[in-house]
Amino acid sequence: MHATPLFDLTPGKLSTYYHDKEKIFRDGQLYDFDPNVDEMFETSRNISRDLNPDLIDKEGNRKCYEELLKLLHVFVLPEVCFYPKDRTVVETVLSEIEKVHAKIEEDIEYKGRMKKNTENSLRKLRNKILQTEDFSSQRYVASLQDSFLKVFLQHLDKELRTLNESLLQNEREIKLYRDSEIKKDSSKLEQARTDRDGILESITKATIAREEIKNVVLRSHVKKRFSRTITKPSDLHELYVEVSKRVDVLSGEIKEKIYAKNQSF
């Protein structure tokens, strides 16, 4: 195998090579049934079996990458020794790793800002839809596309959890200002009560919309009571679904960046 030209190495040849560890160790003369060696060869066989050069930079080879990292960290790197003469090289490598990490972190922060801005746009669209459309009408809700309703329902569930948390925090503030003897806190109390009224209004609208969407999309015993005439989706609804997809894509990209950063340590 050492004499094989690099251009002639194939996954099949590697798999064959690592299949017989006794042969590699000169017909068993140097092999003493070390369990660590057994595991090393098993890992090597898994890599050579699963490696697909066509997917080398794609997600499909993640399992293979994990096996390769295991091979390096468990069996290869512990055997590597550095000496004072290697200091410059090691420092250069560490510097390059730090640059890679810094770039990944920069990408994560950038995509995080993009995601936050896109989520804010989505929230504004959602509020506009709730304010301008009659989600208290089952007939109206039944006329909307399922692709929009299912996405909207997921977001309403999430938003209601956030609104209820905000309401609890607001109630604590109201109690704090109401019990306060500081004069200026009276104006804060009025503002907190105004904020509470706004939160309650948002909760009411979101809850009504959520329940009517569930009646139309999920609750079969309710769906049987009426027939649906689905209309062409509005531009606003199509935009909402599209922006939602952008958020999902950004979330996936951020997860991939975090995974890449963790794997590079």
φ, ψ of residue 21 in degrees (nearest 5): -70, -30
Per DSSP, helices labelled H in the chain are 11-19, 21-24, 35-50, 62-70, 87-132, 138-142, 146-179, 185-217, 220-223, 235-263
Instruction: Confirm whether 99 is domain-assigned.
Output: no
> pLDDT at position 246, please?
97
205 and 131, same domain (yes or no): yes
> pLDDT at position 262, please?
76
Last residue of a domain, one of 27, 56, 80: 80
Instruction: Confirm whether 101 is domain-assigned.
Output: no
- Listed in sequence order, the residues at least 6 apart from 64 whose beta carbon sits closer than 8 Å to its beta carbon are 46, 47, 50, 51, 52
The domain containing residue 21 runs over which residues? 6-80
Q: Would you say the C-alpha torsion 45, 51, 53, 57 has a positive or negative sign? A: negative
Q: What is the pTM of this model?
A: 0.65
User: Distance between CA 17 and CA 19 in Å, rounded?
Assistant: 6
Total tally of structural domains belonging to the chain: 2
209 and 125, same domain (yes or no): yes
Instruction: Confirm whether 173 is domain-assigned.
Output: yes
- Listed in sequence order, the residues at least 6 apart from 198 whose beta carbon sits closer than 8 Å to its beta carbon are none
75 and 142, same domain (yes or no): no
Provide the residue-wise pLDDT of the chain in tens; the chain has 265 residues: 444 454 455 555 555 555 555 555 554 444 455 556 667 667 766 666 666 656 555 555 666 777 777 777 777 778 788 889 999 998 998 999 899 889 999 999 999 999 999 999 999 999 999 999 999 998 899 999 999 999 999 999 999 999 999 999 999 999 999 888 787 778 899 999 999 999 999 999 999 999 999 999 887 655 556 666 778 889 999 999 999 999 999 999 999 888 887 766 5
62 and 121, same domain (yes or no): no
Instruction: Confirm whether 45 is domain-assigned.
Output: yes
258 and 169, same domain (yes or no): yes
User: Distance between CA 87 and CA 4 in Å, rounded?
Assistant: 33
> pLDDT at position 171, please?
94
